Structure formats: C-alpha cells, structure tokens
Amino acid sequence: MVKALLLDLSGVLYVGEDLVEGAVKTVKQARDRGWILRFVTNTATKNRAQILEKLHAMDIPLEDDELFTAPMAALACIRRENLTPYALVHENLQEDFAEVSGGNPDCVVLGDARDGLSYAAMNRAFRLVRDGAPLLAIGYNKYFRTEEGMMLDAGAFVHALEWAAGVEAGILGKPSADFFHEVVASTGCEASECLMIGDDADADVAAAVHAGLHGCLVRSGKYSEGDEERLPKEAWTIDSIADLFTGAG
C-alpha cells in the first residue's frame, strides 16, 4: 500500500515553463488520500527558493520542507565532511556554495553549470581529482528536456572526469540509493510504502525500485519510445501524471 508519493519535477509536473495538464489536480488527489508528498529533483540551475517560487507560481500545493534537491544534499555532505569544494555549479547556486568554498579546495563538486563547464574549468577539476580530491556529483543524469528540446545534463561531464582520472564519483542526487533513502526517511514510511514517479527510466524509476521503492515512468518530459524496456519488471508506465489515479496508460 502506498503511503508516500515522491514526485520528480521537470518532465513530470512541468516541462520548461509549462505546467503539465492535470498535475495540480493529481497532487491534490494524493493529499486527499492522506499520502505524504515529497518533491524530489536533481535540478541544479535554480536554488531552493527559486524552485519553490516556481512551484507556488504554478499553484502546485506544497510545503517548503517537502522539497528535496540534489544541491541541498551536496551542501549537507560538504558541511558534514568539513570539505572545501571547487564548485562547478550554475550561477544561481554559486552564492550557496560560496559559503563553503575557499582558496584551497580539497574536493570537486560538479553540477549543471552550463557554460561554466569550460575546458579550463574541467581541466582544473581533472587535476584536483587526479591528485586525490574526491569527485562529488549533483546527479548523474544524461540529459533532460526543456521547451527548447533535449539538453545535455551534468552526468556526461561527470563521466568524463571519472574516465579521465580513473575514479568513481560520489552521487549526491538521483540515482543514488542514499539519496532515495534520505527522502524516504523524511516521510516516516518504509521504502516499500513509497512510490517514485519520474520521466527518467534509469535515474528516477529503476533507481527507486533498486532502492526498495515502487516506481512509475511517465511518458512526458524526456521520455522516448522504448524507455519502458529499461525498467525493472516491478515498475509500470503511465502517459502522464494526470493518469495516476485514472488507471490510464
């Protein structure tokens, strides 16, 4: 029996600046059923306040403490381990990471820095990692969809550093099982009582199932025909978040 619903944001509730039809109604239906809600995202181009502002502007009903982001997990890890990062993050997150950064970095944090992922920046990160600094990744997604089309995500750059430096990155967002376990713990439920809905067959759905949750893929956002074939047999697929309680799809 499902007691908690974990919702990816981009591709599930909205695509770019466009709200997915039926998303608000489904969120309200889940609340009416007494389900605990968590909004779970690897979005690394907006800070927490900006994400909350966007969701509230779309009339998606949520409390601030229901939002879990990969950058939040990264900052928590850095503070817990007393690290000083070389942070390759989006300009909207630079202020948050400036509080923990310094002149002598002892780790590399890589997120969706867009044009900040220049050769010079990547090469500095490579040298630090090759010399022993841990590589921490804000997610490991390959790509995502916006109103402009498919966009390359940070996972490709993380993989490049892993390959070049011969290391394995610590993943601080999806598809990390630790990240899912942290979100599940916040609900007070067992993993088997939680349902994760996302548009990424691997990082959202398969990863959630492997972490002990239920998983459901939506055919919106970054979904491409044939993604179902990469899902564990326990997962299922619906056309849209609007179909969660209708049985369609």
What is residue 248's predicted lDDT score, i.e. its pLDDT?
53
Is 80 exceeded by the pLDDT of residue 247? no
Q: Is residue 76 in some structural domain?
A: no
What is residue 33's predicted lDDT score, i.e. its pLDDT?
96
Among 120, 155, 171, give the residue marking a domain's end: 171
What is residue 246's predicted lDDT score, i.e. its pLDDT?
86
Q: Would you say 150 and 143 are in contact if contact means Cβ atoms under 8 Å apart? A: yes
pLDDT digit string, tens, across residues 176-198: 999 999 999 999 999 999 999 99
Cis peptide bond N-terminal to 175, omega within 30: yes
Q: How far is CA 90 from CA 1, 54, 142, in A?
A: 39, 17, 17
Number of domains in the chain: 2
Q: Would you say 222 and 200 are in contact if contact means Cβ atoms under 8 Å apart? A: yes
Q: Is residue 118 in some structural domain?
A: yes
Q: Give the type of residue at 144.
A: F
Q: Would you say 46 and 16 are in contact if contact means Cβ atoms under 8 Å apart? A: no
User: What is the domain extent for residue 113?
Assistant: 82-171
Do 200 and 132 lie in one domain? The reply is no
Do 31 and 92 lie in one domain? The reply is no
Section 104-112 average pLDDT: 95
Is 90 exceeded by the pLDDT of residue 249? no
- Pick the more confident residue, 247 or 146: 146
Q: Is residue 101 in some structural domain?
A: yes
Do 166 and 182 lie in one domain? The reply is no
Is 60 exceeded by the pLDDT of residue 97? yes
Do 52 and 10 lie in one domain? The reply is yes
CATH number of 104's domain: 3.40.50.1000
Q: Is residue 155 in some structural domain?
A: yes
Classify residue 169 by its DSSP letter: P
Do 93 and 118 lie in one domain? The reply is yes
What is residue 79's predicted lDDT score, i.e. its pLDDT?
92
Among 154, 171, 188, give the residue marking a domain's end: 171
Do 156 and 185 lie in one domain? The reply is no
